[in-house]
Structure 1
């Protein structure tokens, strides 16, 4: 179930997009007429043009709505999976929602209801509509000790991408070894559209030499030397689409305190400010819940995958010849092509690699919405081919 509130007296629309744009989006659109009646339609966007009425089945259903003080609010619902080729299934984890609105109600008597163009009155959000699992309520950990690693009212710059790093020291009130058994990601309610992902790292104890009264913090690429001991061992990771509360397996806990060597940790937050908003301050971070009893095992993390960077180009052992696939980051390739002083020799060198044959290109480092960090690996089973069945469960959001 969805409820959409937009400041307009015209039509409003919400869509589920496979890739963040209009193409292939499944859209529910509605408005309130002058008599106070709710109108709602199921539409589909084949490309960047006016979405057409879904001619297969009506799967978006308006429930109730009203128009008041210049605002339109409509409550509506849709099945998680409709088995309709003109719909997009609502899946676990991250879903990309698009929205738009017009200034006038459609004219029902005209072709395709004559929807007015939304112009720049549109946007998108990356929102988890279904959990990968069934996260526990925060109240479950109310009786446990806890500690926080939080940003300190950080002023997010009006740039599209910012990585901010802040080093923390473990609180001193854990003189004996303890186990953290869960954590909660804390996102400022006003900054849910900015915080894209958040990682917590251990700082290597043998090479760490911090001043406790002036722990490093700042944009990560500006304090590289100060935080170089805090970028190897992952403690937790979270990104848009993951659960905010994560409980660890019952037989293991994350070891902290006592004589354990790791005393410092670093939180890295990625702010995705595509709209270049200014004057936004953030105090997001992470809370850990600590049990008074030790569990059977210590918990740790293993990271799968290959980093698309110079550090991630690994030479495999015991081989004479091998191929490494990587990519050149866009900021570097742009500088290379625009700032390089070209000579005939360079042109000849580049021409040696040129031909006009068509080919499929696989690239990385593209739109950040393609990134997905998980704090746990979802259970995997081989897929069994079967026909689609409409699940008789409604999505509530």
Structure 2
């Protein structure tokens, strides 16, 4: 198969486990649309508009005439999914069709095939195929790929098939993974003369075969953070192949006096035997969750990191989401912080709101707006510094 040129690739995501027969790789294509350019008044030299995704699928199995479905759904459920299906008929002819999944879990052929530019190759038990799919097909009923989290669903069957319509979409094996297909080309600020990066990462964690795991890693910053720096930008550094299990990550500062030593704990965040010192590591320095982008501070501000009054210990918390309870996964993901010693005019800060994790935090479906109210107790508001008043634009 033809390789995707590097200049066309905006982002990739992949998932693979020893228990699943599919490797998925999605690449966002940067492609100009001649039809849209005049209407938008864009310069032909401007950055291209992302209009679709090109997907590459690998499957390894013992079936000689299998079928494989890759598609998208609102909640990761197969019912209602919009699928692109590779299948082999009884005459050993390869077919590639677009299908919806009805309320009974069976595939129904779509009237307009939006799974385009299909190519495939086969070598023994390995099958590879690629296809292109527009973000918004402008056809009724088809899934619209947007910014944020996309629920990717897959299924696999031994085959062969007489026809695709009416086949149970779940097949012999099925699953789903949450991915971020559309990522903006955001990186460290280009107007900064000198900046460096540091990765706060887990260290070869053997991810438990449990649905939910919170893993904490305490680390000591290098000695040069005895001087104050500013964080300009941060982004996730997820180990390749583990995008499906790393749900969210946070970097916390351990707010002790500068000379306080904190045990370099590596283990379950809620372990009863964890050192009590890590309970003080609660001030957020960086946070990321599946579907989120990287974050860049405005040019006039940076988040303080280090300094003579700054304790040098930080803690990374990683939430592993492993609903399949897969075994043998090892992870060294973390957060990459971009920082500089050339301090900006203002110190940034982070305010945490809505820390009560209950069902009332969930936004109901189909609502135009959603209000969630909270209250600060006097013990908290009394700590707000006087300078944060109406004259500074902040009201409490």
Query: TM-score, normalising length from structure 2?
Result: 0.69
Equivalent pairs, count: 307
Paired residue for 2:256, among 205, 209, 214?
205
Summarize the alignment of residues 30-179 of structure 1 with structure 2, pairs less than 5 Å apart.
Answer: 30-31=86-87, 38-55=94-111, 57-108=112-163, 112-113=164-165, 115=167, 118-131=170-183, 133-136=184-187, 144-179=195-230
Change (3 A) 1:161 1:194: same
The alignment partner of 2:270 has SS state of helix
- Contact 1:106/1:116, CA 8 A, preserved across alignment: no
Match of 1:7 in 2: 60
Change (3 A) 1:138 1:180: closer
Aligned equivalent of 1:234, options 277, 284, 291: 284
Work out which of the residue numbers 313, 316, 331 in structure 2 matches 1:282: 331
Deviation of 1:2 (Å): 1.1
* Offset, 1:217: 3.1
Q: Tell me how far apart the structure 2 counterparts of residues 265 and 200 of structure 1 sit (CA, whole Å).
A: 7
Tell whether the 8 Å contact from 1:141 to 1:289 is kept in structure 2 after alignment.
no
Q: Structure 1 residues 205, 15: closer, same or farther in 2, change over 3 A?
A: same
Q: Secondary structure at the match of 2:87?
A: strand
Tell me the SS of whatever aligns to 2:227.
Answer: coil
Q: Which has the higher contact order (CA 8 A, sep 6+)?
A: 1
1:17 to 62, 69, 73: 73
Matched residue of 1:85: which SS? coil
Contact 1:14/1:97 (<8 A) preserved:
yes
**Matches of 1:143 and 1:317, distance apart in 2:** 42
- Whose helix proportion is higher, 1 or 2? 1
Distance apart, 1:307 and its partner CA: 1.3
Match of 1:256 in 2: 305
- Distance in 2 between residues matched to 1:139 and 1:102, nearest whole Å: 49
1:184 matched to 2:235: yes
Q: Which runs of 5+ in 2 are unaligned?
A: 1-53, 362-372, 379-396
Asked whether the 8 Å contact 2:197–2:337 carries over to 1, the reply is: yes
Provide the secondary structure at the position in 2 that maps to 1:228: helix
Distance 2:104 2:190 in 1: 45
Task: Please give the secondary structure, in 1, of the residue aligned with 2:129.
Answer: strand
Partners of 2:192 and 2:252 lie apart in 1 by 23
Structure 1 residues 300, 120: CA separation in 2 closer, same or farther (over 3 Å shift)? farther
Q: How far apart are 1:252 and its partner, in Å?
A: 1.5
